[in-house]
């Protein structure tokens, strides 16, 4: 009898995804992420990148990266705690803390690494983590890596969070620590967490508050400083502000900001930070330059919001379902995954690059095209995309 291959499940499960139209079709950019870019030989309008402010191709970031290679080399040569912390990494963390108006900041290799490395250290056996039901997968994985008990509250529902907290106070023996975690901007729907209400409840119940502001930085708050500034909250109400350099900052990397105690704790306890190579000097330099641009060129954030308001109104007027988005993330919700994939394919044919988002990233009946606005676009670019959506939306009987 022939023995079944131990890796047979790999192909079987992939083919099942293909049959159910739940697989990812990877498209390849041939050049930089710019408003009009080349994807697999076709010139298309970029409408789905996280490059909110267009900084990934900003001349100041490119110049800083090139200069850092010349002065510091191509790589750091080590992990941060041993021999991989360069002066440029320290400078980045000081600049970030000043920008965030926090005591201190710590840079991780990625945003995912920040959540996966820090969350399990903040809460463990005898503790409780309370998480929004629509939190990002990196938060979910970070929670799973901890030995803490877990509770979930209804999405952005402060009353339900209060219920969970009140039940937690009755637990015997009492929990050592309670950690509330939420996304700042929810990446699939573009809505903003009620962080002011969450922080108020956290203070009333003696809980730590952790916000993942990956999609809020460069978008919300004064000068794009993020959701903590957006709600004008003090650092004693929001204890951990996590973010990334891979979205509005236009580069790559994760980070946390808060008290000096938090940062001392994090770099001694987070294994993702301790055991991963540090950023190449060019990455750190480009991140510093991105902070400079945010501080010195406010027009990028202003233009981002002008474009966002224009596009949302147009899509609503056409009859598309854009959910409850409050940010430059605008989902075009179509329901079935097959419809979302057809819409994406036709958009690409018409010159608009916008990928479908399907289960398990969203609910089975909430498949969508997730569009993300970019400050570097022009009004003519927006009209081009709107006309394409209108044409194909009618063609596929979506509107």
Question: What is d(CA 282, CA 72) in angstroms, rounded to the nearest whole number?
Answer: 8
- Decide if 187 is catalytic: yes
Give the DSSP letter string of 334-356: EESHHHHHHHHHHHHHHTEE--E
Neighbours of 316 (CB within 10 A): 12
Residue pair 331/323 in contact (Cβ under 8 Å)? The answer is: yes
DSSP string over 148-202: SEEEEE-TT-HHHHHHHHHHHTT-SSPPS-EEEEEESB-TTT-PBP-HHHHHHHH
C-alpha angle 349-51-352 in degrees, rounded to nearest 5: 10
**Cα–Cα distance for residue pair 179/157, rounded to 1 Å:** 16
Q: How many CB atoms lie within 10 A of CB 142?
A: 30
Which one from 247, 300, 307, 366 is the annotated catalytic residue? 247
How many angstroms separate the CA atoms of 156 and 151, rounded?
Answer: 14
User: Which listed residue (58, 89, 215, 307) is catalytic?
Assistant: 215
Residue 162 phi, psi (nearest 5): -60, -40
CA pair distance 130, 124, nearest whole angstrom: 13
Using alpha carbons, select from 186, 212, 198, 213 the residue that is nearest to residue 326.
186
* DSSP H or E run through 216: none
Q: Does the active-site annotation cover 215? A: yes
Choosing from 187, 325, 337, 344, the catalytic residue is 187
Question: Quick one: tokens of 91?
Answer: 């400078």
Catalytic residues: 187, 215, 247
């Amino acid at each position: 009898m022939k023995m079944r291959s131990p890796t047979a499940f790999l192909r079987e499960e992939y083919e099942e995804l293909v049959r159910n139209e739940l697989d990812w079709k990877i498209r390849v950019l041939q050049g930089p992420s710019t408003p009009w870019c080349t994807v697999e030989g076709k010139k298309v309008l970029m409408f789905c990148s996280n490059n909110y402010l267009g900084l990934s191709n900003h001349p100041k970031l490119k110049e800083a990266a090139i200069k850092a290679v010349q002065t510091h080399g191509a790589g750091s040569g080590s992990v941060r705690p041993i021999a991989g912390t360069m002066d440029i990494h320290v400078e980045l963390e000081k600049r970030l803390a000043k920008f965030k108006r926090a005591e201190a900041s710590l840079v991780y290799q990625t945003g995912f690494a920040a959540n996966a490395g820090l969350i399990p250290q903040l809460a463990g056996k005898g503790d409780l983590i309370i998480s929004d039901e629509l939190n990002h997968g990196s938060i979910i994985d970070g929670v799973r890596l901890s030995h803490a008990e877990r509770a979930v509250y209804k999405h952005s529902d402060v009353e339900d969070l209060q219920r969970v907290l009140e039940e937690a106070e009755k637990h015997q023996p009492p929990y050592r620590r309670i950690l509330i975690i939420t996304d700042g901007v929810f990446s699939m729907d573009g809505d903003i967490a009620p962080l002011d209400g969450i922080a108020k409840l956290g203070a009333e119940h003696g809980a730590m508050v952790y916000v993942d502001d990956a999609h809020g930085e460069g978008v919300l708050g004064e000068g794009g400083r993020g959701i903590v500034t957006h709600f004008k909250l003090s650092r004693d109400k929001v204890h951990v502000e996590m973010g990334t350099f891979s979205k509005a900052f236009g580069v790559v990397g994760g980070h946390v900001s808060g008290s000096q105690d938090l940062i001392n704790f994090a770099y001694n306890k987070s294994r993702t930070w301790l055991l991963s190579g540090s950023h190449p000097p060019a990455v750190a330099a480009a991140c510093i330059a991105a902070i400079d641009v945010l501080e010195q060129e406010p027009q990028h954030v202003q233009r981002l919001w002008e474009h966002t308001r224009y596009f949302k109104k147009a899509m609503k007027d056409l009859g598309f379902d854009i959910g409850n988005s409050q940010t430059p993330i605008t989902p075009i919700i179509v329901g079935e995954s097959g419809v979302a994939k057809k819409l994406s394919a036709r958009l690409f044919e018409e010159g608009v690059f916008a990928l479908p988002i399907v289960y398990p990233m969203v609910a089975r009946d909430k498949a969508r095209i997730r569009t993300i606005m970019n400050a570097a676009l022009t009004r003519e670019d927006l009209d081009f995309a709107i006309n394409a959506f209108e044409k194909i939306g009618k063609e596929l009987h979506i509107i």
